[in-house]
Homo-oligomer: A and B are copies of this chain.
Amino acid sequence: MVRNLVAKGFRVMAYDIAPAALAAAGGLGASPAASAAAAARPSDLVVTMLPSSSHVESAYFGPGGVAEGIAPGRLCVDMSTIDPATSRRVAARLGERGVRFIDAPVSGGVVGAEKGTLAIMVGGDPADLDEARPALAAMGANIIHVGPVGAGEVAKLCNNLIAGVATVAVSEAFRIAEGFGVDPQVLTRVIASSSGRTWIMEHGHPVPGIVPEAASSRDYVPGFTVDLMCKDLGLAVDAARALRVPVAVASAAQQILRLASSHGYGRKDVSSVYAFLSASSAEAPV
């Protein structure tokens, strides 16, 4: 992000609680700041990207946080993947100070970045998005306005819910086919022209050797890790809980990825769940 912003001519002040990360940003051409507040104080636009909801709340409202430094009237863009309720809460608290906020999580992972198909899903006021668009355009090719604040996160979670579930379902299907000795190449062609067609099978096929550019064909080097998908499914399931929406299939997928992570697949590509779902070799009563 920093590299791209600097390359496009933006002047960037950076802050990270990890000194190494901050130094790295400095190496890419950003000016290091002493705190989030210090970085926010002189800036026209604040961009944040953090690993969890509680980190976002701390970065904005904790000691030395954005809220301490930012001037009324300014705009904040949070590119973290967090739960939409947190985005709305942060926006409301900033709004009390006259500060504007949009959520803009990124989708597409490493593959998207390589292929230039990285998408930014934005929730917030359209005028605020227009103001942030030049900076966002430096980081992603495809900027989509989804709705009011939080809607970017909702779109990200809903998309990843489907993608995560599909990854496990495609893996289960191809394990069954393997058990019957059916050629996965042929099965892929059949499903690709039928009702089971999914982006996941076409671009992230879990069986090695079917789709050359898929992570499965390079030993499941990510791509998008099991742990990240597990986190996103967890956010979706958690949001569903608060909304009282039943999500049995998303929950089942989340738990399978959690188990895969426990057994060493956490940092492999999510499609490696196919490897985790191996049939038992033991001879035992069925």
Residues of chain A touching chain B, judged by Cβ–Cβ distance below 8 Å, are 51-52, 84, 107-109, 119, 121, 142, 144, 146-148, 150-151, 154-155, 157-163, 165-166, 168-170, 172-177, 179-183, 186-187, 189-191, 193-201, 203-204, 225, 227-228, 231, 234, 236-256, 258-259, 261-263, 266-267, 276-280, 282, 284-286
Chain B residues closer than 8 Å to A252, beta-carbon distance: 248-249, 251-252
A262 nearest in chain B by CB position:
B280
Closest to A150 in B: B180
CA distance A182 to B150 in the complex (A): 9
Q: Can you name 11 extra interface pairs (CB under 8 A) apart from A241-B286, A252-B252?
A: A146-B187, A146-B190, A159-B195, A159-B196, A162-B196, A163-B194, A166-B198, A172-B249, A227-B282, A238-B238, A262-B278
Whether A279 and B243, one on each chain, are in contact in the complex, defined by CB atoms closer than 8 angstroms, is yes
Work out how many copies of this chain go into the complex: 4
B244 touches A158 (CB 8 A): no
How far apart are A20's CB and chain B's nearest CB, in angstroms? 16
Q: A200 to B195, Cβ gap below 8 A? A: yes
Asked whether A176 lies within 8 Å of B280 as measured between CB atoms, the reply is no
Inter-chain contacts of A249 with B (CB < 8 A): 165, 168-169, 172, 249, 252-253, 256
**17 A-B residue contacts at CB 8 Å?**
A119-B190, A121-B190, A142-B193, A154-B187, A155-B190, A157-B176, A161-B172, A162-B173, A165-B169, A166-B198, A195-B199, A231-B284, A241-B258, A244-B258, A261-B280, A261-B284, A266-B280
Residue in B119, B121, B234 whose CB lies within 8 Å of A241: B234
Q: Is the CB of A262 within 8 A of B244?
A: yes
Complexed CA–CA distance, A242 and B286 (Å): 6
Complex alpha-carbon distance, A71 and B195, angstroms: 38
Give the residue of B109, B173, B240, B277 whose beta carbon is less than 8 angstroms from that of A158. Answer: B173
Residues A267 and B245 in contact in the complex (CB < 8 Å), given A146-B187, A187-B155, A190-B155: no
